[in-house]
Every structure is written in C-alpha cells, then in structure tokens.
C-alpha cells in the first residue's frame, strides 16, 4: 500500500468520544444529533472506533450498528468484563450480531485516568478524524483530553456539545 493509499484509508477512520453522563433531556436528542453529525461519515467504507463505556460510547455504538453499514471497533482499557454492566451487554449484543469488526481489550493493569487516556490515544492514533460529544467545557474531561490530543496530532475534529 502506498503512503497516499494508507492516508486515504486512515481518513475514513473516525474516533467517537463523549461524556459518560448524559442528561435525560439530551438523551432524547441523541438520535437526531447522531443522524446529523455521524451519518455524513458513516458510509460502508468508514471505520469507527468507540470506547466501551456508558454514555455516548454505548449510545453511538447502538446508533451506528442500527443505522449504518460502517465497520465498528470497540476499544476498552482493560477487558470488556470491567466495563459497566449495560456497556458490556451492549458490546456483547453487537458482537454476537456480527456488527463489530473487532473488540480490542488493551489489558491495562488497573482502571483509572491513565488507562482511559491510553485507550483514547490508541483510537485517535488509528483515526484520521475525531468527533467529540462533550458535556460542558471542563478541560479535565476525557472527551476534551481526546479532542485536544487529536488537535496535537493535527487531526480534524468536530465538537458537538450535549
């Protein structure tokens, strides 16, 4: 594969990052937000990387698996079994349905900020584009960490507040 072909391929790889805490009024708006901001990138040649957490990760996984033919990879910092019960069930459901290309368990020694940041860097490093769904502007959130990491890498970002 030539460098140009590799770059074109990576450009169709998209990382989704977002808040784990979604207010009830925002949760009802997620399908519309996803339709407006994910669908344009969710063609059959696209590949999405999603963290396996509750909140935006799980909601975006459900929407993409239901509403697109894009390839989907879920990445967790340690193991799927360490994820919140609802998130782990969502991952298993789509894995059993054959909608996930891959589930990546990074095997961190322990869960915590460092493990989540490592997961997010892993996804961004394999993507050409990042879509973030932050709640608020708290610079210490994992969503903003990921968006800022993508900026440091010179990658385009789309920020959709929830």
- So what's the pLDDT on residue 25? 76
Whether the CB-CB separation of 91 and 74 falls below 8 Å is answered with: yes
- So what's the pLDDT on residue 3? 44
Position 127 pLDDT exceeds 70: yes
Question: For domain 3-159, which CATH number applies: 3.40.50.450, 3.40.50.2300, 3.90.470.10, 3.40.190.10?
Answer: 3.40.50.450
Confidence of residue 5 (pLDDT cuts 50, 70, 90): low
Angle, vertex CA 38, rays to CA 96 and CA 61, nearest 5: 20
Residue-wise pLDDT for 68-113, tens only, equals 999 999 999 999 999 999 999 999 999 999 999 999 999 999 999 9
Q: Write down the domain spans for the chain.
A: 3-159
Cα gap 126→111, rounded to integer Å: 22
Whether the CB-CB separation of 70 and 64 falls below 8 Å is answered with: yes
pTM over 0.75: yes
- So what's the pLDDT on residue 27? 85
Whether the CB-CB separation of 99 and 65 falls below 8 Å is answered with: yes
- Going through the chain in order, the beta strands assigned E by DSSP cover 13-18, 47-51, 71-76, 100-105, 129-133, 157-159
Position 57 pLDDT exceeds 70: yes
Contacts of 134 (CB under 8 A, 6+ apart): 18, 19, 141, 143, 144, 147, 159, 161, 162
- So what's the pLDDT on residue 11? 56
């Amino acid at each position: 594969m030539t460098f140009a072909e590799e770059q074109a391929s990576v450009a169709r790889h998209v990382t989704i990052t977002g808040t784990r805490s979604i207010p009830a009024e925002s949760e009802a708006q997620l399908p519309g937000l996803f339709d407006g901001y994910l669908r344009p990138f969710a063609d059959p040649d696209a590949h999405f990387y999603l963290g396996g957490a509750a909140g935006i990760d799980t909601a975006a996984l459900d929407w993409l698996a239901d509403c697109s033919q894009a390839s989907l990879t879920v990445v967790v910092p340690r193991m799927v079994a360490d994820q919140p019960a609802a998130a782990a069930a969502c991952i298993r459901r789509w894995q059993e349905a054959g909608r996930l290309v891959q589930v990546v368990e990074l095997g961190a020694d322990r869960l915590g900020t460092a493990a989540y940041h490592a997961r997010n860097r892993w996804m961004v490093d394999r993507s050409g584009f990042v879509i973030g769904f932050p709640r608020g502007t708290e610079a210490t959130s994992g969503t903003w960490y990921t968006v800022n990491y993508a900026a440091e890498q010179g990658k385009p970002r789309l920020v959709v507040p929830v």
